[in-house]
Chains A and B, each alone.
Chain A
Amino acid sequence: MSTMQKLLQLPVNAVNMVKNAQGIGQGEEEALSPVTPDGGTQNWYNAVQPEELRHLRFGGGGGGGEWSEEHPVQEEGLTSVQTQPLRHDDLKEMLDSNKDSLKLEAMKRIVAMIARGKNASDLFPAVVKNVACKNIEVKKLVYVYLVRYAEEQQDLALLSISTFQRGLKDPNQLIRASALRVLSSIRVTIIVPIMMLAIKEAASDMSPYVRKTAAHAIPKLHSLDPEQKDQLIEVIEKLLADKTTLVAGSVVMAFEEVCPDRIDLIHKNYRKLCNLLIDVEEWGQVVIINMLTRYARTQFLNPNVNESLLEESGERAFYASDDDEEDEDKKAEEAALPKRKPYVMDPDHRLLLRNTKPLLQSRNAAVVMAVAQLYFHLAPKAEVGVIAKALVRLMRSHSEVQYVVLQNVATMSIKRRGMFEPYLKSFYIRSTDPTQIKILKLEVLTNLANETNISTILREFQTYIKSMDKDFVAASIQAIGRCATNIGEVRDTCLNGLVQLLSNRDELVVAESVVVIKKLLQMQPEQHSDIIKHMAKLIDNIQVPMARASILWLIGEYCEHVPKISPDVLRKMAKSFTNEEDIVKLQIINLAAKLYLTNSKQTKLLTQYVLNLAKYDQNYDIRDRARFIRQLIVPTDKSGALSKYAKKLFLALKPAPVLESPFKDRDHFQLGSLSHLLNAKAGGYQELPDWPESAPDPSVRNQEEVIDSSEGRIGLLGDWRESGPPSSTLLEQSSGAEDRKRGRKAVKNQKSASESESESESSESEEEESEEESGEESESDTDIRKKKTPVSKQPPKQSKKESKKETQEMSLLDLDDFEPTTATAPVTPVNFMSSSLVSDLEGLSLTDSILAPTTIAPSGSIKMYELLHRIKGEGLAVEYCFSRQPFSPDPNMVAVQIQFTNNTNSETKNLHIEEPKLQSGMRVREFSEIEVLAAGDSVTVVMGIDFCDSTQAANFQLCTHTRKFFVTIQPPVGELMTPAFLTENDFKKEQENLLDGKLMGMNEISEKLSLGEKCVNEHIIVERVTATANLSRVPCGSDKECRFAGKTVSSGCLVLVTVATKEGVGAQLTVNCEKMVIGTMLVKDILQALSQ
């Protein structure tokens, strides 16, 4: 802490320092200038001078950052030596003045200097004094200056530290954040301990924004002092556990910079990151996705492991990603490889793929690319196709984006050609494309060429050859060559086309054609001696060295096919040998050697002549080659055993070259990365690891999963709840916010569970295992992985549970486990009476108050409805539910439990109801006014509404001290009744009464239905019915029938429900009720609940 103390005393010393610095300013500057990073030299100063002077002489009029033009003529009279002492004095004066406007003006001009790269470091003492200025803009500009020059003036920079330290304690989160931001940006080693302390403190700040800033500060400190790494990793670990979207992106960024190899830190946060991803800001998404790609490569198995064993060439085209299709595929593959152990995708792997997919729709090209590379590296082959469309979309973007995307598409199209085939035409080239884009498109087109589309592609290529852009034409010719080597059928057509190009007027075109023809001819030289002859004629005209060399090599190689022409070509070349380029010379030597071996009679002298010329060539390569060849082919007494084999050496059959894409095998770099683009490892690049042979233990990712929803954003997926109601098979907790999040989870989990089920039967065993586990453990264990399996297998267990009292207690305990972790203030447990419980415990005497807290929550018996969305309510979220409690002040009213959550940063006051607009007869009993609702708090109240046994909505205004919101409560029909306890006989009697009493049939509504898949037993039926309507079960002798009874709240009419199950899934639903409307609606609701 000694450094700290020193620092606190520092300002006193520093003031002296300022004085000194001002005094010695110029001298110091002279010394400094050569080492300034701008490379400012004396010359450079001279150039600057006039400009700075102008301000001096004209009083620096005009707005800040004015750009003066340089008038060297005007300044002629002044030499740099004279002006040097006057530099910036006016600025210093302005900075010292009391007027903020002058200070601002000065700062603006200084910032303008910095922007132009001029040195303004000598103003440091004058500027830094203003760090505590009241004016915000001056302050901000001082920060800009400080961050820029603090490194060079470390001692003086310390002056400002105390200001920031004060800022760190400010009650306003934004000021805390900005203080930390600037403090951590000052690259002065001496304050490392202060920074460390500030970061640690900020990492546990209440405000997520400050925590985000702390995450940003971590890499800054790390680059300043790498020795702090261990401590920083601790902070990263802590921040990784943060549950807000604001922090997630920044901390992963810090993780990537400081400790990308500490993959173990991710385990516990993996699922959270996957789930938060959609709501993270776009830049954070990119970083997280890239990191998760690497993570997944270390933790999961290769989903294509079976396919990679199959022949790659038998590639099929997959475009769709429907799950059925995928399943079919899987089955097909499994059938093909019966012996292999079927691959089962880890649910976490699936989670990642599913949660990233919607991001393909992002407007940000970097996000789309990140998802695309994730799918390319991680997804099963059949699913990769989805990324093609999004990548093709990016091609409409700026040319730089196109460039990068095309590079990646080129790599992908080699591995997964089928993926881009449907988009072939999107890669057609326009004359207005920049050349580099054209060449990349050509690359993609070539990769996509196959037997079926080659004719279209070649027709396109023909147009390209006529282009005015010669570089592009050359690339097109090479592309034709590659198509010809890859696709045998079109080889002759291509060759003919290329030969025609040999008569093109443009030499570059001809040269390129020659080179390509040479490669093609190597494949089948016998049939093409006329082409070789044609090319021999060209040697007189073509000047491009590469082309000449190619022709000479061809003639030499196939001299037996053109025995008459070849010696003549050698003669010509011998004549021009000295003027040729090096590669041509080498080929002349080769040609001579080959001819000497096959036709020594005619060419002996020529060869010797050429070799003699080569012996005295300037290039040592050529001299060496000549020496080597002479020894080899010209038999002398000294020549060794090798000369016997000279012919074999020179005229060996050479394999035809394989024309390969330069993008082949680039996919060992992570796609979308800088390293991939450059095809070289960039600094800081993290290798994409190979898939592990066997998956590491997946349980490392298990963790307590509680997400604080109050700070979540409404992102793309923000409103899950609107599209999918919370799953009804999970235990619902009392906190509203909790419910929602968990509902979201549950929907996802259910899906994934059914998916993983369908993926393979072998997962069955695993499921059973985990079911046992979760049977032992409590229901509300929040771990997804375990949760997943119970979801699909819930029904039987649920019944077990309810029959046992112990389990009920257990769920109570779990509730406790839950509460401390929620960030929103715990809500008092809702006292409600589950009607199914009531029916279960019917024989006992009922006392609400005792039983209420121990309620188990059968599926969805309490469903929260939204009264006021927190966005519409400007931070006030209101939800309500029908608690099914009798409303004590008025038994004819339905009790509505309303929960207010204040998501704003300020208190909300005087919450009450005004101006109910009700249908005739309806009545409302308001709750007593809530005086204060503190920020982040929740409160629950109960109000009573008499709906008059109709489902008409009750409208009223919800008022706070500032605003009024119109809200509506509409009850489902099932909530308009209370349970009535009847015996079996009573039930029958009442039923008959109803039927006999008045018009027959009017009071009975009967409907046939087929039960949904999950309504397998009586218990589920009871559960579903009681969830839909507030009824109680009536004991019944027959196990094929379930009976329920209730009364409407307002008028007390009996409601009797009978569900008679038949063979299979058939069932008969009967509702008896005097109120026809209620009866009809109830039938509808129950029908829906049962047939789901």
Chain B
Amino acid sequence: MIHSLFLVNASGDIFLEKHWKSVVSRSVCDYFFEALERATEPENVPPVIPTPHHYLINVLRHRIYFVAVIQSEVPPLFVIEFLHRVVDTFQDYFGVCTEAAIKDNVVVVYELLEEMLDNGFPLATESNILKELIKPPTILRTVVNTITGSTNVGEQLPTGQLSVVPWRRTGVKYTNNEAYFDVVEEIDAIIDKSGSTITAEIQGVVDACVKLTGMPDLTLSFMNPRLLDDVSFHPCVRFKRWEAERILSFIPPDGNFRLLSYHVSSQNLVAIPVYVKHNISFREGSSQGRFELTLGPKQTMGKAVESVLVSSQLPRGVLNANLNASQGTYTFDPVTKLLSWDVGKINPQKLPSLKGSVSLQAGAFKPDENPTINIQFKIQQLAISGLKVNRLDMYGEKYKPFKGIKYMTKAGKFQVRT
């Protein structure tokens, strides 16, 4: 399956290589570099590149290309999903997944890769098992290791792989037993010129941070589970129980994990929490264009819209922008033509606006396209779909855990066409 892995940074250098079968020369990456050159944007590199003897499957995360070399037929998603899992693991271990972090921890990276694949076939990809095998580096541990000469590799033999619940470590102990659940919903929407919604969907996830002693068995129920149209679960969730009773019953992994992701059916009307009034116009022959933007809250269920960030890719002919923001700051990058406006919180009494003029290249034609406006925002303590957790119960252990549930709504891919 997966033959080798090369890590390539943004400037096109291979900074790590790992082979699971016999060694494949790094010159195979030349085909990848060719494709990289052809692609106008970094994300336009085709994920699968055929070469005379190999196939290269790559993913781009954190400005690093993870290029896997395979030699024969294998489902491409298999490799892609695995590579993403590798990145997630790195992120889990090092906090960030950057070139520097990988270089600093190259030995741990190598040990991880060694455990994750055997002869190119995934072996242990559960973070809980890996952490039993290889302890994540922390500052304290690094210091201790340097002094005492002890190692990062788990002393005892890992039994997690053999357990009936492979996603959970055995012998977990905490002094404070806590279970936190974050219900995060994202609104994906396309709003057309006139302000009417072309398409809007809500995608949500329930992320959990569970720090409970022993082998707890949790059940989580929703007030309105029928809202969930399409769901996908962490393997720990008992599917039949969900099918029958719409209750999430599971023995949680230790630590952070994504319990559930869901889609709220598109038949339901989606509340759009912000509106945009815009007037962007360029006149023929003139080197100036008008630019006006006003934001306002729409259906927010009485909650404040925060961390609002507006960005827009202006046409290539635009030279500069002279704008006035009633609130927050704006920046315009004359090279990439990217305008971004950090609005902050929307005050319903005094709506934030960005007004002014944009200057065009002299003699250039009026751009025939209008820019799309991308909006990001956050609303705390609100799940826009109305989903509510009913209760969380724990069985199998005697202590009383501390339970917490947080709701949040965010903009996903929220675009306004002008």
Closest residue of chain A to B75, judged by CB? A672
**In this assembly, does A135 line the interface, its C-beta being within 8 Å of a C-beta of chain B?**
yes
Q: Is B114 an interface residue when CB atoms closer than 8 A count as contact? A: yes
Nearest B-chain residue to A152, judged by Cβ: B23
Are A67 and B199 in touch, CB under 8 angstroms? no
Residue of B nearest to A370 (CB): B75
User: Which residues of chain A are within 8 angstroms of B368 by Cβ–Cβ distance?
Assistant: 466, 504-505
- B106:A283 contact, CB within 8 angstroms: no
Q: Which residue of A lies closest to B99 (CB)?
A: A67
In this complex, which of A281, A674, A713, A874 has the most chain B Cβ atoms within 10 angstroms of its Cβ? Answer: A674
> In the bound complex, what is the Cα–Cα distance between A316 and B163 (angstroms)?
48
Cβ-closest chain A residue relative to B77: A366
B-side interface size class:
35 or more
**Cross-interface CB contact of A115 among B18, B21, B74, B395, cutoff 8 Å:** B18
A-B contact count (CB 8 A): 301
Instruction: Please classify the interface of chain A as helix (H, G, I), strand (E, B), loop, or mixed, using the class held by over half of its residues.
Output: helix
A371 to chain B, nearest CB (A): 12
**A872/B190 contact (C-beta < 8 A), A101-B149, A673-B73 known:** no
Interface residue B110 (Cβ < 8 Å from any Cβ of A): yes
Find B14's partner among A117, A135, A208, A282 (CB 8 Å cutoff).
A117
Check A466/B370 contact, CB under 8 A, given A136-B151, A719-B240.
Answer: yes
Given A216-B123, A364-B81, CB of A65 within 8 Å of CB of B151: no
Quick one: which of A211-248 are within 8 Å of B by CB?
A: 213, 216-217, 219-220, 223, 246
CB-CB < 8 A to B263: which residues of A? 389, 393, 396
CB-contact partner of A366 in B78, B142, B315, under 8 A: B78
For the complex, is A304 an interface residue (Cβ under 8 Å from B)?
no
- B243, CB-defined interface residue at 8 Å: yes
A463 / chain B contacts, CB cutoff of 8 Å: 192, 417
- Give per-residue flags for B288-331: 1 if the beta carbon is below 8 A from chain A beta carbons, else 0: 00000000000000000000000001011000000000000000
Q: SS class of chain B's interface: helix, strand, loop or mixed?
A: mixed
Chain A: minimal CB distance from B361 (Å): 14
A680 within 8 A of partner (CB): yes
| B225 within 8 A of partner (CB) | no
How far is B21's CA from A404's CA once the two chains are assembled, in angstroms? 26
Binds A, one of B172-180, B231-239, B377-385, B401-409: B231-239
CA distance A217 to B27 in the complex (A): 28
B140 at the interface (CB under 8 A from A): no
Number of interface residues of A (CB under 8 A): 122
Roughly how many angstroms separate A907 CA and B238 CA in the complex, as a whole number? 29
Q: Are B107 and A714 in contact (CB under 8 A)?
A: no
Chain A residue contacts of B18, Cβ below 8 A: 115
A467 at the interface (CB under 8 A from B): yes
Q: Which residues of B contact A281 (CB under 8 A)?
A: 166
Q: Which chain A positions have C-beta within 8 A of B127?
A: none
Which residues on the A side are within 8 Å of B188 (C-beta)?
396
For residue B235, which residues in chain A have a CB less than 8 angstroms away from its CB? 282, 362-363, 715-716
A363 cross-chain contacts in B, Cβ below 8 A: 232-235, 258, 261
Q: Which residues of A contact B417 (CB under 8 A)?
A: 463
Q: For residue B119, which residues in chain A have a CB less than 8 angstroms away from its CB? A: 184-185, 216-217, 219-220
State the Cβ distance, A812 to closest chain B Cβ, in Å: 34
Among listed B152-160, B274-282, B348-356, interface-contacting one? B152-160
Q: Of the candidates A135, A217, A426, A683, which one forms a contact with B201 in the assembled complex, judged by CB atoms under 8 Å apart? A: A426
Which parts of B46-63 form the interface with A (CB within 8 Å)? 46-48, 50, 55, 58-61
Assembly CA distance A362 to B16 (angstroms): 31
A436 within 8 A of B: yes
Q: Say if the beta carbon of A445 comes within 8 Å of chain B.
A: no
Q: Are B72 and A870 in contact (CB under 8 A)?
A: no
C-beta contact mask, B230-257 vs A, less than 8 Å → 1, else 0?
1111110111110111000101000000
Give the shortest distance, in Å, between B276 (CB) and chain A (any CB): 15
Among B15, B149, B316, the one with the most A-chain Cβ atoms within 10 Å of its Cβ is B149
Kindly state the separation between the CA atoms of A367 and B364 in the bound complex, as whole angstroms: 52
Contact with B along A279-298 (1 / 0, CB 8 A): 00111001000100000000
Whether A216 and B75, one on each chain, are in contact in the complex, defined by CB atoms closer than 8 angstroms, is: no
**Inter-subunit contact B232/A393 (CB<8 Å):** yes
Q: How far is the CA of A27 from the CA of B375 in the complex (A)?
A: 65
B43 at the interface (CB under 8 A from A): yes
Contacts of A678 in B (CB 8 A): 48, 50, 55
Which residues of chain A are within 8 angstroms of B104 by Cβ–Cβ distance? 65, 67
Within 8 A of B (CB), among A423-443: 423, 425-426, 428, 430-432, 434-436
A21 to chain B, nearest CB (A): 20
- Contact pick for B121, options A253, A675, A722, CB 8 Å: A253
Nearest chain A residue, comparing its CB with the CB of B192: A463
Expressed in whole angstroms, the Cα–Cα distance for A869 and B397 within the complex equals 13
Q: Among B22, B122, B149, which residue has its beta carbon within 8 angstroms of that of A187?
A: B22
With CB as the reference atom, state the residue of chain A lying closest to B66.
A400
Q: Which residue of B lies closest to A399 (CB)?
A: B43
Tell me, rounded to whole Å, the shortest Cβ–Cβ distance linking A99 to chain B: 8
Question: Which of the residues A136, A141, A467 comes within 8 Å of B107, measured between beta carbons?
Answer: A141
Tell me if B91 is interfacial: C-beta within 8 Å of chain A.
no
Chain A nearest CB, measured from B242 CB (Å): 8
Distance between B89 CB and nearest chain A CB, rounded to angstroms: 14
Do A718 and B238 have beta carbons less than 8 Å apart?
yes
* Contact in complex: A871, B77 (CB < 8 Å): no
Residue-wise, chain B 99-113 has the 8 Å CB interface mask toward A (1 for contact) of 000011111011100
With A430-B415, A717-B240, A719-B241: A401-B396 Cβ-Cβ less than 8 Å: no
* Residues on A with beta carbons closer than 8 Å to the beta carbon of B395: 872
Does the CB pair A108–B107 fall under 8 Å? yes
Structural contact, B105 and A65, CB atoms closer than 8 A: yes
Q: Is A112 close to B, CB under 8 A?
A: yes
* Nearest B residue (CB) for A874: B215
Smallest CB gap from B119: residue in A: A220
Cα of A390 to Cα of B233 in the assembled complex, Å: 12
Chain B positions within 8 Å of A874 at CB level: 215
Closest chain A CB from B24 CB (angstroms): 8
Contacts A136-B155, A393-B230, A467-B369 given; does A369 touch B240 at CB 8 Å: no
With contact pairs A116-B16, A426-B199 given, residues A674 and B76 touching in the complex (Cβ less than 8 Å)? yes
Closest chain B CB from A392 CB (angstroms) = 8
Q: Does A148 contact B (CB under 8 A)?
A: yes
Given known pairs A361-B231, A400-B47, A401-B81, the reply for A432 and B413 (CB within 8 Å) is yes
Which of A67, A369, A390, A434 meets B77, CB within 8 Å? A369
Chain A contacts with B in 382-411, Cβ cutoff 8 A: 389-390, 392-393, 396, 398-401, 403-405
Say whether B17 contacts A115, CB under 8 Å. yes
Which of the segments A167-175, A343-351, A1006-1014, A1066-1074 contacts the partner chain?
A: A167-175
List A residues 257-285 near B (Cβ within 8 Å).
278, 281-283
Contact partner, B239, options A39, A358, A400, A872, Cβ 8 Å? A358
Contact across chains for B75 and A674 when beta carbons are under 8 A apart: yes
B345 within 8 Å of A by Cβ? no
A861 contact set on B, CB distance < 8 A: none
When A678-B48, A683-B71 are in contact, do A401 and B77 touch as well, CB less than 8 Å?
yes
Q: With A223-B21, A283-B78 known to touch, is A432 a contact of B107 (CB < 8 Å)? A: no
A365 within 8 A of B: yes
The 9 closest A-B pairs by CB, nearest first: A684-B72, A716-B239, A101-B149, A137-B151, A425-B199, A65-B106, A685-B73, A431-B372, A137-B153
What is A's interface to B at a CB cutoff of 8 Å? 37-39, 63-65, 67, 99-101, 104, 108, 111-112, 114-117, 135-137, 140-141, 143-144, 148, 151, 172-175, 181, 184-185, 187, 207-209, 213, 216-217, 219-220, 223, 246, 250, 253, 278, 281-283, 286, 290, 358, 361-366, 368-370, 389-390, 392-393, 396, 398-401, 403-405, 423, 425-426, 428, 430-432, 434-436, 460, 463, 466-468, 504-505, 672-675, 677-678, 680, 682-686, 712-720, 722-724, 869-872, 874, 903
Q: A112-B107, A223-B21, A719-B238 are in contact. List 7 more A-B contacts (CB 8 A).
A: A358-B243, A361-B231, A396-B263, A467-B369, A718-B238, A723-B243, A723-B245
5 contacts between A and B (CB under 8 A): A65-B103, A220-B21, A362-B233, A716-B237, A722-B238
